[in-house]
Structure 1
Amino acid sequence: MAVNREASLRGLPDRLVAELLYCLQVRTAREVKTRDHRIRHISDRLRLLQVPRLETLEDADLVRAGLVDDLRMIIRGAQTALRRLGATPETERLKDIWDLFAFGHHGTLNLSRIHQRPLREAVKVWAYDELSRRRGRNVASSMQNMIRGMEQLSESLRLQRDDEGHQLRLLSRTDMVGFCNRVAFLAESGVFGAHHRVNVIRDVRNIVNPISVSAIARQAGVDRSFLYRHRDLLEIVHAAELEPAAQDPAGGSPVSRASLQTDLTNAQARNIRLATRIQQLEKRLSQALGAQACQESGLGAPADIDELQRKITRLEQHSFELTSALEDARSDLDAAREANRDLTRALNQQG
């Protein structure tokens, strides 16, 4: 019973009372008004449900208790506040679903759909490092899109390997070729578009982060010109790029960056040939059907708009790839020029 706009929390467990008071403090700190009749209604329903703490409540329980939408929103906000209580980046990175509030961002990051635990842990390491470089309000969506590429890789390993991909040290180039072929099949079968297929392969490549001058410099926090100035370090990086991984006891070939790039190029070329052949057949079929329809109706042949749209899509993808390659080449050239200038200055000072 309310007296002078007071709400009674009698009959509730001590922990539940503490949780409700803490959530009221959080809402007040955010300058959100909470009226007394809502607290009374919530406490009455919680008293009927006999729940020991808020985190055990499910949406079905709230609906069954007869709480309206705005009261359910207060309960869900309270659960979020309690989940974030004491959360730090170090504790959040141990979970499979991250609340990005601990990292200074909005939203969540879901890694639970990666089936293989070693692969999931590796993606966690990448995500933990990548979050510190991201800014803006769309961090969660952009990173989740990249993680979906790893989900496709995980699903491919689960379907194609006897060990379902849990032994990452046994992976070979055959597994990556199978992954590229599966992505191409999904794109051709209409599960997703050709542009999404390119994004999936590119995101997997970026997350796997092959050994390169740019990757080593980025991880070390130095400029690439530092590696170019130290030839011994540069030779070690180039040797590591070509070093194959462990031999697959099942008979697969050893994996290296060069072999994976070669297989990826071959798979992409094969997919392009198949796509071109399919488009040729589709064009011939459309021309035949169009000619037949024109003969029957007496109308002129319609313009092949679909073919033009496909050509525009292919040209846009090709332009994007050329632009990315040009940017990388310019960065390497700038680093080499900087190293050359440093060497010239050093020689002039010695002279």
Structure 2
Amino acid sequence: MTGKERAGDGYCTPHADQCRHLRQEGVLEDEDLWRLTTPAIAESRKVSLRGLPGRVVAEFLYGLQERIARGLLHKDYLLRNLSNNARAQQVTSLDELDLDVLTRTDRTQARGFLKYIRRFGLSPETERHKDVWDASVFGLGGTFSFTGITQLWLREGAKAWALDDIPRRRGKSGKTTVQRTLKSLSRFSESLYLSRDDHGVDLPVLGRIDITAFLGRLSILNERGDISACTQYMTVRHTRRVLTRLRTLGLTTPGQPLHGLTDDFALRQEDIPHDPEDSEAGRDLPLEVMRQLCAHLDSLETVSSADVRTAIELIIDTGRRPNEICKLTAMAVPRPGEQRRSRPGLRQHQEPSQRSPATDPRRDRRAHHQAATTRPRPLPRHPGRQAQTLPRHPGQPPWHEGESGHHGAALRQEQDLPLLLPVHLRTTARRRRRPPGRSPIVDGSPRGQHHSAALSLPNETVATPSSNRPKSAGPSLGAQRELGLTT
């Protein structure tokens, strides 16, 4: 109960009216249960945790603390929904929540809380016995899955290899490298399962003939087009490296998962196929395709956002990769009238319109976009000192000039915003992260949004240099990956 006016039966006035209405309707069968499950009266900027078990309260606060520490913004009404759902379902832990009955927004938020709650207390020692590992305990993102490996001895060997290899991986590509190796081992496991009557479970009887069957299966899959020549090459290479490493780790000794493995059950150097050469003529898209993509940038902004369109335009103009564009600071992109020295390796794309920097309408769009995302924040006000704004660097538009009216007063009231230097502001930033303007959008967002928009474009035929017959316009594989046209 709150400190509001009390009514009969010890209820506050809103709850008393609600209880009286339920009694009149004849639907209040268990009043004690109603007391436990009915939500508290909503109050602005407050979330009631009354009536929840102590563990649920602790999990709620811990998940909220972890999410705030990572810059995520929260609305009080969304947090209130999570508390009310936990109270209505009478759970003893947030892990017991039935997510299927929640709305999409509440389900997404509950999964975000559960992610950090489930990570509490995890360590590499606790994960090594599972079939799906949480990569956060190794400082990486995502998960490592061993479920595609059906043989128990091979799965345990893969876990031992991963536990030895993961600590040496650094950066975002570390998780991808390990997962690709596990995918290669799953193909090796599938070959053993299909080619042997015992499905590859009987370890001592495995030999060179099983290796030959594995190599032959990969060749057939490549000829049928199920896998590429590069996938065939990398699969054999990964599998050979893991099998060799398992022996050096001592897993073939007595008492270990691979005890009894014969010496001829191994991939040799000559078994690795030749590294396929890059047959692409170039990574540039045909001019006809570029014209079509540039002509439909408005539709891209309609289905995505202005940040995604800005990122795609910068990719087109500079030729940089999406992950590089998403990390650009606001000072990295020249504004109208500002001279910047060209950087080595920066490709200036002029086709299809042969535009100049002074007449490019997209340059004005990006300047307007920067004006909306790089507005300098005032310094926190201290006693006896008025709020100040950051000094602008040469070439920066005077954003803070003319802000003496209502908008200027609103800006000066933002006391909770930290000091953000222009070098920290991102050209494309996430809108729901704190501090604002500092966290860049992930490179997968422009890729995915541009991929969906490009698939909706009409087909166009072009003439290729090798043939006079019209051919459907299609970018090279490398160029498709750069612009997010393929995964």
Question: One fold, TM greater than 0.5?
Answer: yes
Partner of 1:255: 264
2:93 is aligned with 1:53: yes
2:133 alignment partner, SS class? strand
**Does the 8 Å CA contact 1:114/1:150 hold for their aligned counterparts?**
yes
Map 1:74-113 onto structure 2 (within 5 A): 74-113=109-148
2:271 is aligned with 1:264: yes
Q: Which residue among 101, 122, 129 is the counterpart of 1:64?
A: 101
Q: Which residue among 4, 19, 27 is the counterpart of 2:67?
A: 27
Partner of 1:114: 149
**Does the 8 Å CA contact 1:105/1:139 hold for their aligned counterparts?**
yes
Aligned partners of 2:260, 2:95: CA distance in 1, in Å? 46
2:169 is aligned with 1:131: no
Distance 1:127 1:161, change over 3 A: same
Instruction: Identify, as 1 or 2, the structure richer in helix.
Output: 1
Unaligned runs of 5+ in 2: 1-40, 251-258, 275-465, 470-487
**Does the 8 Å CA contact 2:211/2:265 hold for their aligned counterparts?**
no
Write the letter of the residue equivalent to 1:64: V
2:180 is aligned with 1:173: no
2:204 is aligned with 1:164: no
Aligned partners of 1:208, 1:179: CA distance in 2, in Å? 14
Aligned partners of 2:205, 2:95: CA distance in 1, in Å? 41
2:238 is aligned with 1:199: no
Q: TM-score scaled to structure 2, two decimals?
A: 0.43
2:80 is aligned with 1:36: no
The Cα shift of 1:9 comes to 2.0
RMSD: 3.2
Aligned partners of 2:172, 2:260: CA distance in 1, in Å? 41
The Cα shift of 1:110 comes to 0.9
2:177 is aligned with 1:145: no
The Cα shift of 1:20 comes to 1.0
**Does the 8 Å CA contact 1:126/1:207 hold for their aligned counterparts?**
yes
The Cα shift of 1:140 comes to 1.5
Aligned partners of 2:123, 2:60: CA distance in 1, in Å? 22
Aligned partners of 2:56, 2:88: CA distance in 1, in Å? 13
Cα deviation 1:194-213 (Å, max 9, x = unaligned): 121111111101111269xx
2:57 is aligned with 1:17: yes
Q: TM-score scaled to structure 1, two decimals?
A: 0.58
1:120 alignment partner, SS class? helix
Alignment size in residue pairs: 231
Write the letter of the residue equivalent to 1:62: L
Aligned partners of 1:77, 1:83: CA distance in 2, in Å? 10
Cα deviation 1:148-207 (Å, max 9, x = unaligned): 110011111111122211222321111111111111111111111112111111110111
The Cα shift of 1:303 comes to 5.7
**Does the 8 Å CA contact 1:119/1:168 hold for their aligned counterparts?**
no
Write the letter of the residue equivalent to 1:25: Q
1:109 alignment partner, SS class? strand
The Cα shift of 1:261 comes to 2.7
**Does the 8 Å CA contact 1:177/1:263 hold for their aligned counterparts?**
no
Distance 1:261 1:125, change over 3 A: same
Cα deviation 1:227-259 (Å, max 9, x = unaligned): xxxxxxxxxxxxxxxxxx9698xxxxx6265xx
**Does the 8 Å CA contact 1:146/1:200 hold for their aligned counterparts?**
yes
Aligned partners of 1:210, 1:63: CA distance in 2, in Å? 44
Write the letter of the residue equivalent to 2:156: E
The Cα shift of 1:104 comes to 1.3
